[in-house]
Amino acid sequence: MTRELFWLTLTVGLTGLLWVPYILDRIMVRGMKKAMDNPSSKDKPQSAWAQRLYFAHTNAVDNLVVFAPLVLVLDSIGHSTQSTVIACAVYFWSRLAHAIIYTLGIPVLRTLSFAVGFVCQVVLFIAIFGKL
């Protein structure tokens, strides 16, 4: 496994687990039965932090759709450099930071952590075409 695939795997794992805390909150707020019902506008709202984590998770999924193919293309063409490895590692840490910061409700840092992840995606894109 390349180092880029390692970081992709960690990112997939992180993204795959982000739902757990906000579902636990949903169970605590609404009870088990209501948490398993279909959503309704009459549902008791979840905790503010859980709502923010839900949005952070959605954002992580949206961005994984961009990040994963970039890493897989790099792997398929056999292109791995220190820059691509660093970009993948920084991407993972920026997504973890984004989820935590978003959940805590810190707006400016949330945007900055998102922007760092986006720059990492740009680095990978350039690496594919420019052999960075």
Q: Give the other-Cβ count within 10 Å of 40's Cβ.
A: 7
Domains of the chain, each with CATH number or no CATH? 3-39+46-130 (1.20.120.550)
Cα-flanking dihedrals φ and ψ of residue 2, to 5°?
-70, 165
- Does this model's pTM top 0.85? My answer is yes
Question: 85, 32 in Cβ contact below 8 A?
Answer: no
Please tell me the distance from the alpha carbon of residue 130 to that of residue 85, in angstroms, as a whole number. 16
Residue 87 has pLDDT above 90, yes or no: yes
Q: CB under 8 Å to 39, separation ≥6 — which residues?
A: none
Chain position carrying tokens 């920084």 = 90
Q: What percent of the chain has pLDDT over 70?
A: 98
- Looking at residue 111, what is its pLDDT? 98
Residue 123 has pLDDT above 90, yes or no: yes
Q: What are the structure tokens assigned to 17, written together? A: 């687990």
Q: What is the pLDDT of residues 3-21, one digit of tens each?
A: 999 999 999 999 999 999 9
Question: 29, 110 in Cβ contact below 8 A?
Answer: no
Q: What are the structure tokens assigned to 54, written together? A: 């839900």
Please tell me the distance from the alpha carbon of residue 18 to that of residue 61, in angstroms, as a whole number. 10
Residue 118 has pLDDT above 90, yes or no: yes
Q: Buried b vs exposed e over 57-68: b needs ≥16 C-beta within 10 Å?
A: bebbeebbeebe
